[in-house]
Amino acid sequence: MVQKRVLVTGGGTGIGLAIARQLASDRHDVTISGRSAETLAEVGLPYVVMDVTSEASVQSTFAELGDVDILISNAGAAQTAPLLKTSLATWQAMLDVNLTGAFLCARAALPSMINSGWGRMVVVASTSSLKAYPYTGAYTASKHGVMGLVKTLALELAKTGVTVNAVCPGFSDTPLLTRSVENIVNTTGMDEDQALAALLKDNPMKRAVEPAEVAAAVQYLVSDAAAATNGQAVVIDGGELAG
């Protein structure tokens, strides 16, 4: 595959970092973004500081970067609470980073792809894009919205040479999972092993997804071989949604 210009949002840690390293190893020109220059600088890849929830930040970053061939929209956050105890601030924060962030980056990146007749956008969504979990109302609503965005863009761009897809990991071995385990320990009295088991109870493999496994799916989706794969939710969850 010819070298492509890649931007990975939220590329400083976890799944985003695994994707960035995989695509860099494929000899693509990879830039990562995030809100912490200190975290990004430790990775060793070219980076830009960008807040995906800010239209001005997204616009100025893409103006600085120039045309991008592959957009990996990975930046995201998760906050949990029963829906009736979810504040408006938490609700809005989940929509802003998970859904509006993907929208703003799509709007900035896709025009140049359309003009060139080739492009790939992959959104790192979640199994929460396809099913509901208790105590995750704001997060689940935002991730369901992401899949609506992916499907709409896929249909609108189907004749342009640009594809838009999502990967939907289950609970993955990332700092986000670590924080989720800590939250359960602090609120329930479970130990860490019990908390992790509770999170993985619906996963037939009973293990967290490895970020490299998600990166491998993304590697395919951005390839020429995936030219007809469009508007899809590629699930990497150990079989959780098969049940």
Number of domains observed in the structure of the chain: 1
What is the rounded CA–CA span in Å between residue 166 and residue 143? 11
| pTM of the shown model | 0.94
The answer to whether residue 20 sits within a structural domain is yes
The answer to whether residue 204 sits within a structural domain is no
| CB-CB contact of 208 with 177 (8 Å) | yes
pLDDT in tens, 92-146: 999 999 999 999 999 999 999 999 999 999 999 999 999 999 999 999 999 999 9
Neighbours of 85 (CB within 10 A): 9
Confidence of residue 1 (pLDDT cuts 50, 70, 90): low
The answer to whether residue 201 sits within a structural domain is no
DSSP letter at 30 equals E
Indicate which CATH number applies to the domain containing 155. Answer: 3.40.50.720
- From 133, 135, 139, 220, the catalytic residue: 139
Residues in contact with 13: Cβ distance below 8 Å, sequence separation at least 6, in sequence order: 39, 174, 175
The answer to whether residue 177 sits within a structural domain is no
DSSP letter at 226 equals G
The answer to whether residue 150 sits within a structural domain is yes
What is the rounded CA–CA span in Å between residue 190 and residue 217? 34
pLDDT in tens, 32-48: 999 999 999 999 999 99
The answer to whether residue 19 sits within a structural domain is yes
Q: State which residues form the domain around 38.
A: 5-171+209-242
The answer to whether residue 181 sits within a structural domain is no
Percentage of the chain surpassing pLDDT 70? 100
User: What are the two backbone dihedrals, phi and then psi, of residue 90, each rounded to the nearest 5 degrees?
Assistant: -65, -45
The answer to whether residue 105 sits within a structural domain is yes
Is 47 designated active site? no
